[in-house]
Amino acid sequence: SKYRNAILEPIEESLEASFRDVCDEYGYEILALHISPDHVHLFLSAHPKHSPSEIVRTVKSITAREMWEQHEPFLEEYLWGGGFWKESYYVGTAGDVSTETVEQYIERTEHV
């Protein structure tokens, strides 16, 4: 949409590294990660002791802090007074669905 900022493209590599570091540290396994210019799809596996809301809070807070530390002048241009991530998120569970099916969904879901 023309109303969204494509702010993730210039920081995509460091954002991906940040996701991988957080997930390694907390024992979450990234099964698929797709960074679009204005949103991210992250498919991961975690021990059931971690609630989805805890995982989202952990990943978003750490990646946001790291991106501000690494790219503050750039982000200030676009996010003046705003947070890095929106508060909303979508969580779905895969259950018996295969990893391949979810990866295909993530690849296909390049939202317009």
Tens-digit pLDDT profile for residues 23-73: 999 999 998 898 988 888 898 999 999 999 999 999 999 999 999 999 988
Q: Which domain holds residue 34?
A: 9-110
Model confidence, pTM: 0.79
Percent over 90 (pLDDT), the chain: 44
Average pLDDT over residues 7-36: 93
Q: How many domains does the chain have?
A: 1
CA distance 59 to 53: 10
Is 4 part of any domain? no
Q: What are the distances in angstroms from CA 2 to CA 6, 25, 72, 81? A: 9, 36, 24, 21
Is 2 part of any domain? no
CATH code where residue 42 lies = 3.30.70.1290
Residue with tokens 């059931």: 48
